[in-house]
Structure 1
């Protein structure tokens, strides 16, 4: 089924100079058949290599490529939020720049959104139909984080961390500014905010082809500890301060 409105694909990128040009063009080719009206919002998050120049090279081919660039690295969460702010579509998707998650899956996510009337469809590595080719260490981390989230937030979702997500803009734009987390826990904060405003979230299976072992190795204990502290801070904002509850409902 084709999108009935404009699709904005937010693609955060940090030091992706080796592959970002080809991956942007590949994304365009993949999504064009089911999203004729689209834009790709590529966020250069303070890269120290030639990522910005490669984005500009891709942009020269097509004005549907939008670049947002920062001189400083602020983290994936901040990059996603910057992309949301610049998105003009009725639908906003998140897509990792390495294309471990093929953007072709967004067509099925849109079908799910249309069939259920939900406000967000997110990829779930723990779905029984997901196809995963990635390290055991990351599988263990995903299950452990899921168990913590179920205990703290009682959301009826099993995986907040998978990089492929699709939102209705009317559900995500009004709450994006509430997100205070820039690191690994930004996903859960955004989903909690959408849920607290009455947004419905559905899960879909994903096909993951893990292409970079170094990604797992560079997730250090300090990163895990920070994600834990950030998650507890989100719990406090949600359940003690009711920080996400005010404002217009979805």
Structure 2
């Protein structure tokens, strides 16, 4: 059975997720500890107006009471969940960067609170990273082996965004927006503070920054299951417009300011 060597930090941003966040955290721990026993979840409450923060605190209390696998034949108790909280909603990008700053792992993964992307898929991503020597492994909805069960309009938006990024940044990453990603800490920590995008375009800014530093990015298939009901707010037109505007701002920082390049000595 595959076992990760090193510590894994999982950043899970959440905004108004009181109905989901407790079960998502506990389920993620239960799944991931099977192949990454040394792990932590950084749950980032992004200014939620509901009881998201309280549900995260409940998960912290309940998990601390449980024995945790750390190696074959050994079990100990301890704190595996960190809470990072903001008094106002600053956007998913800001939440992710806040989580990265608190991560202690050798590897840092992103998992969305709704678990549309099953965290069990992280096992294959980590194996791929160690076998191929890549520094970043991201989920790709356009991979031939991906299984997609989500609205057609989201597929169209993702494809259009990919074409735009290929032209602007020469970054041959077919899908930057899938929520499941794994980075080596040494690749993402030095550039995370450079990310200025607070919204959904943070993915491309982070990947561009990593790419500009010469790190290797691999893509893996994903299984996506759309779990939200029709009354739950998801990405709207205003979010899409802001993402395109932010993308052009990233373009300016890349080619006119060389903002993400390795500092010269």
**Normalising to structure 1: TM-score of the pair?**
0.97
Aligned to 1:53: 54
Residue pairs, 1:31-42, within 5 angstroms: 31-42=32-43
Question: Residue 138 of structure 1 contacts residue 216 of structure 1 at CA under 8 Å; is this kept in 2?
Answer: no
* Superposition deviation, residue 111 in structure 1: 0.8
Aligned to 1:222: 238
Deviates more, 1:95-104 or 1:209-218: 209-218
Residue pairs, 1:1-250, within 5 angstroms: 1-61=2-62, 62=64, 63-214=79-230, 218-247=234-263
Segments of structure 2 that go 5 or more residues without pairing to the other structure are 65-78
CA distance in 1 between partners of 2:233 and 2:88 (Å): 23
* Superposition deviation, residue 227 in structure 1: 0.8
Deviates more, 1:236-245 or 1:88-97: 236-245
Deviates more, 1:62-71 or 1:213-222: 213-222
CA distance in 1 between partners of 2:234 and 2:25 (Å): 24
* Superposition deviation, residue 220 in structure 1: 2.6
How many equivalent pairs are there?
249
Q: Which structure's CA Rg is the greater one?
A: 2
Taking only aligned residues, the RMSD between alpha carbons, in angstroms, comes to 1.5
1:161-195 CA deviation, whole Å, 9 max, x = no partner?
00000000000000000000011100000000001
* Superposition deviation, residue 217 in structure 1: 6.1
Segments of structure 1 that go 5 or more residues without pairing to the other structure are none
* Superposition deviation, residue 240 in structure 1: 1.5
For residues 150 and 215 of structure 1, do their structure 2 counterparts lie closer, same or farther at Cα, with a shift above 3 Å needed? farther
